[in-house]
């Protein structure tokens, strides 16, 4: 059972927009801690996609965007491409776990 | 370009200690949190803990009694030791760098390729 809750799977057709939610609580996202998002392509290490809620590292397409409100955060992907098919994880910090970093359970994105 | 490389045994016997090292190349080991994350087969990411370049550390509470991390700044390496392993510790183990500055966390922006550790007799 992950501290942050994500839907197990989402899907969309090429060109469409999809969102992935990440729900936490008052000890993590709701406490004001930042949320980061990672993309994990099959058989590879995770890659930082969004940091500090809304920021894209250099090289990440602007098709990817992040937002945060209350105890939740979301990752939006517009103009879906086949290469976006991957697992996506949110990550934050939890004050009830001594400042531990916590991950969501991951969401498998399927491009139809 | 900073790169991380994990090294260590791929097979560990139950009840023994898992030991991994991560070598940092192409950049400084100072001023970052150096992190270990694992991913059991077919499952999600699990944060194990971090060690700061000064040697301070935080471990995930459920693993705290079995985890020890250390850092050697002269060799630009940091290490993980996980004692009393069981089959549940079988996973791909990643090392990663987490950026932090002036109260702002920047996420884990550099990852190693991961190393598979199997716990089996």
Q: How far A58 CA lies from chain B's nearest CA (Å)?
A: 11
Per-residue pLDDT of chain B in tens (121 residues, 90 and over written 9): 999 999 999 999 999 999 999 999 999 998 899 999 999 999 999 999 999 999 999 999 999 999 999 999 999 999 999 999 999 999 999 999 999 888 888 999 999 999 999 999 9
State how far residue A49 is from chain B, nearest Cα, in angstroms: 9
**DSSP class of A56:** P
Could you tell me which residues come within 8 angstroms of residue B22 by beta carbon, excluding any fewer than 6 positions away? B4, B5, B6, B7, B34, B36, B77, B78, B79, B80, B95, B112
Nearest by CB: A52 against B47, B58, B106? B106
pLDDT at A112 (0 to 100)? 94
Residues A5-27: pLDDT tens digits?
999 999 999 999 999 999 999 99
Please answer whether residues A101 and A92 qualify as being in contact, where contact means their C-beta atoms are separated by less than 8 angstroms. Answer: yes
Closest CA to A48 of B44, B111, B27: B111
pLDDT one-digit tens code per residue, A53-84:
999 999 999 999 999 999 999 999 999 999 99
Name the residue among B44, B50, B111 with its Cβ closest to that of A2.
B44
- pLDDT, residue A98, reads 87
What is the spatial distance between Cα B121 and Cα B110, in angstroms, rounded to a whole number?
33
Cα–Cα distance measured from residue A31 to residue B121, given in angstroms and rounded to the nearest whole number: 44
The predicted structure's pLDDT at residue B103: 83
């Amino acid at each position: 059972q992950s501290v942050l809750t994500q839907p197990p799977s989402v899907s969309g057709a090429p060109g469409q927009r999809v969102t992935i939610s990440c729900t936490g609580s008052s000890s993590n996202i709701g406490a004001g801690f930042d949320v980061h998002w990672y993309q994990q392509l099959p058989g590879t290490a995770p890659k930082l996609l969004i940091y500090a809620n809304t920021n894209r590292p250099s090289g990440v397409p602007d098709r990817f965007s992040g937002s945060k409100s209350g105890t939740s955060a979301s990752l939006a992907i517009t103009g879906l491409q086949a290469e976006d098919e991957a697992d996506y994880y949110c990550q934050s910090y939890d004050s009830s776990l001594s400042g531990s970093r916590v991950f969501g359970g991951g969401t498998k994105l399927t491009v139809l | 370009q900073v790169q991380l490389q994990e090294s260590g045994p791929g097979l560990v016997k139950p009840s023994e200690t898992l030991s991994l090292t991560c070598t940092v190349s192409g950049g400084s080991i100072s001023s970052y949190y150096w992190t270990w994350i694992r991913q059991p087969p077919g499952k999600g990411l699990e944060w194990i803990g971090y060690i700061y370049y000064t040697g301070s550390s935080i471990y995930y509470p459920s693993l705290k009694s079995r985890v020890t991390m250390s850092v050697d700044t002269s060799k630009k390496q940091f290490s993980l030791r996980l004692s009393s392993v069981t089959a549940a510790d079988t996973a791909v183990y990643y090392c990663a760098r987490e950026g932090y500055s002036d109260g702002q966390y920047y996420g884990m922006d550099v990852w190693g390729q991961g190393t598979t550790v199997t716990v089996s007799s």
